[in-house]
């Protein structure tokens, strides 16, 4: 088949890779010169540990697909380094113990570590904590270099064409195919169109599928200069228990009751996630803002809070902060959905809304789409 994909973020690129893997030809349109949305404004984490039970199978499958992709495209920077969620209170320890006692703990690669064992796994952690929940199945990719590397590989197949700086303006069905017109006046014909609009829920996506059952979420993050030593795993703090459904339970309910977040963390709905980039710097975040219109500036208080938490866990000063940014992603309103797929017309589909799980689930969601459409 000849498949046209609109949207050059992780979801669109994963669909392109899956289509090529299945023997199809792909035309790929991206309105920016390069993907600039949440796909490149994230941690690059493939995060298995905190997934809800109904998400876990897809997360594990996606991790397998990332490993397969890395074997074909080493430039994605995939590394199965795992993560450690560090607990600083007895209430947080209780949440970790409850998660470790569940039947699916082995499937998540969980292990409970005391402080000395944490330092054996990740010697850079010399700060204050009561223990760590180690997830050996978490992984990371280099989000800012992964998509160009994947596209370069796809182009080498001779069955993939990427049109940067190209916006799809109109999509009409012509039995038996689909006709696409772009903003340069060019026309394309395809057997199937898959639109992956990211957080751009108006324009073409709304023309095709109406108001999608999604909300947008804004985040703030930052990156440091090189740390000067190796952080062998990603790290998270106990606040992350509050934001990942895999930790729901009586212990978390008790934590919420007796241990309010620090005021800045509560105001900005914060958790700490931290991963080291291949160049040695740390990507640190994040915040959650749900009410639109979003601010166009970034607040400094969350950065001070996150810096303080990381320094407490590392037991040392952070290197200088060299970059700060904000990003926006779209998320399904129905938490039981991994992503929203809507058939807009014959052979035209809109796929959007993986939330903050785009890098984690992207390859598996593309595989599911291909299976559903019989590709």
Question: pLDDT digits over 234-249, tens only?
Answer: 999 999 999 999 999 9
Average pLDDT, the chain: 96
Residue 123 burial (CB count, 10 A) = 12
Same domain (yes/no): 99, 226: yes
What's the rounded Cα separation, in Å, for the pair 331 and 322? 29
DSSP 317: P
User: Is a pLDDT exceeding 90 seen at residue 259?
Assistant: yes
How far separated are the first and last CA of the chain, in Å rounded? 8
Q: Are residues 276 and 341 in the same domain?
A: no
pLDDT at 176: 82
Kindly state the tokens that stand for 254.
Answer: 């008790």
Distance CA 202, CA 208 (A): 10
Note whether residue 290 is domain-resident. yes
Report which of 130, 129, 127 is spatially closest to residue 318, judged by C-alpha positions: 127
- Over residues 144-199, the pLDDT tens digits come to 999 999 999 999 999 999 999 999 999 999 878 999 999 999 999 999 999 999 99
Residue 56: pLDDT above 90? Answer: yes
- CA–CA separation, 32 vs 200, rounded Å? 12
Please check whether residue 180 is in contact with residue 167, taking contact to mean a CB–CB distance below 8 angstroms.
no
- Please, are residues 83 and 183 in contact by the beta-carbon 8 Å criterion? no
What is the C-alpha to C-alpha distance for residues 195 and 197, in angstroms, rounded to an integer?
6
Residues 230 and 302 in one domain: yes
- CA dist 75 and 152 (Å) reads 10
CATH number at residue 259: 3.30.9.10
Residues 132 and 259 both lie in one domain: yes
Tell me which residue range forms the domain holding 344.
Answer: 2-40+145-213+337-372
Q: What is the largest CA-CA distance in the chain?
A: 66
Would you say residue 121 lies in a domain? yes
Q: For the chain, what is the domain count?
A: 2
- Our measurement of the distance from residue 275's CA atom to the centroid of its chain's CA atoms, rounded to an integer in Å, reads 13
Residue 155 tokens, joined: 């182009």
Q: Give the residues across from 219 on adjacent strands.
A: 327
Q: Are residues 303 and 244 in the same domain?
A: yes
Rounding to the nearest 10 degrees, give the CA dihedral for residues 43, 44, 49, 50: 50
Statement to judge: residues 157 and 263 lie in one domain = no
What share of the chain in percent tops pLDDT 90?
A: 99
Centre a 10 Å sphere on the Cβ of residue 225 and count the other Cβ atoms it contains: 15
pLDDT at 199 (0 to 100): 96
Residues 252 and 263 in one domain: yes
Are 88 and 221 found together in one domain?
Answer: yes
Q: Which residue has the tokens 């270099």?
A: 145
Q: State mean pLDDT over 32-49.
A: 94
DSSP character string of 103-126: TTTGGGTEEEE-HHHHHHH-TT--
Q: Does the residue 62 lie in any domain?
A: no
Asked whether residue 149 falls in the same domain as residue 26, the answer is: yes
- Tell me the pLDDT tens digit for each residue of 284-342: 999 999 999 999 999 999 999 999 999 999 999 999 999 999 999 999 999 999 999 99
Does residue 34 sit in the same domain as residue 149? Answer: yes
In this structure, the answer to whether residues 87 and 112 fall within a common structural domain is yes
pLDDT value of residue 327: 96
- Going by C-alpha positions, the residue among 103, 86, 82 that lies closest to residue 95 is 86
Separation between Cα atoms, residue 251 and residue 146, nearest integer Å: 38
In this prediction, residue 164 carries a pLDDT of 96
Cis check: omega of the bond before 269, within 30 degrees of 0: no
Write out pLDDT tens, residues 207-233: 999 999 999 999 999 999 999 999 999
Give the pLDDT score at 175. 75
- State the average pLDDT over residues 8-37: 96
CATH of residue 185: 3.50.50.60
Strands 321-332 and 177-182, by their bridges, are unpaired
Q: Has residue 70 been placed in a domain?
A: no
Is the four-CA dihedral 209, 210, 214, 216 of positive or negative sign? positive
Is residue 307 situated within a structural domain? yes
Based on the fold, state whether residues 235 and 315 are members of the same structural domain.
Answer: yes
């Amino acid at each position: 088949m000849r498949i046209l994909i609109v949207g050059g973020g992780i979801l669109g690129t994963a669909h392109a890779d899956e289509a090529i893997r299945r023997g199809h030809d792909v035309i790929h349109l991206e309105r920016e010169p390069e993907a600039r949305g949440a796909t490149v404004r994230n941690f690059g984490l493939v995060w298995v540990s905190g997934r809800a039970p109904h998400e876990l199978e897809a997360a594990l499958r996606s991790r397998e697909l990332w490993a397969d992709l890395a074997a074909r495209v080493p430039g994605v920077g995939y590394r199965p380094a795992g993560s450690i969620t560090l607990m600083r209170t007895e209430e947080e320890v209780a949440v970790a113990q409850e998660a470790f006692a569940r039947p699916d703990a082995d499937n998540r690669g969980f292990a409970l570590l005391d402080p000395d064992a944490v330092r054996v796994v990740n010697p850079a952690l010399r700060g204050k904590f009561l223990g760590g929940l180690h997830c050996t199945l978490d992984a990371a990719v280099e989000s800012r270099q992964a998509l160009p590397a994947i596209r370069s590989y796809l182009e080498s197949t001779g069955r993939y064409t990427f049109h940067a700086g190209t916006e799809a303006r109109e999509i009409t069905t012509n039995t038996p195919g689909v006709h696409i017109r772009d903003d340069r006046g060019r026309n394309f014909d395809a057997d199937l169109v898959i639109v992956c609009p990211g957080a751009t829920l108006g324009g073409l996506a709304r023309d095709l599928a109406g108001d999608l059952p999604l909300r947008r979420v804004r985040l703030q993050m930052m990156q440091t200069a090189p740390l000067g030593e190796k952080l062998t795993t990603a790290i998270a703090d106990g606040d992350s228990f509050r934001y990942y459904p895999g930790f729901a339970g009586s212990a978390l309910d008790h934590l919420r009751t007796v241990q309010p977040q620090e005021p800045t963390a509560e105001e900005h709905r914060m958790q700490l996630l931290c991963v080291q980039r291949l160049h040695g710097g740390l990507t640190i975040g994040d915040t959650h803002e749900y009410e639109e219109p979003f601010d166009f500036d970034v607040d400094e208080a969350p950065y001070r809070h996150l810096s303080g938490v990381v320094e407490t866990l590392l037991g040392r000063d952070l290197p200088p902060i060299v970059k700060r940014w904000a990003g926006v992603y779209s998320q399904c309103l129905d938490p039981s959905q991994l992503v929203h797929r809507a058939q807009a017309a014959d052979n035209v589909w809109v796929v959007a809304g993986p939330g903050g799980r785009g890098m984690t689930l992207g390859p598996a969601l593309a595989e599911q789409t291909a299976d559903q459409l019989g590709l």
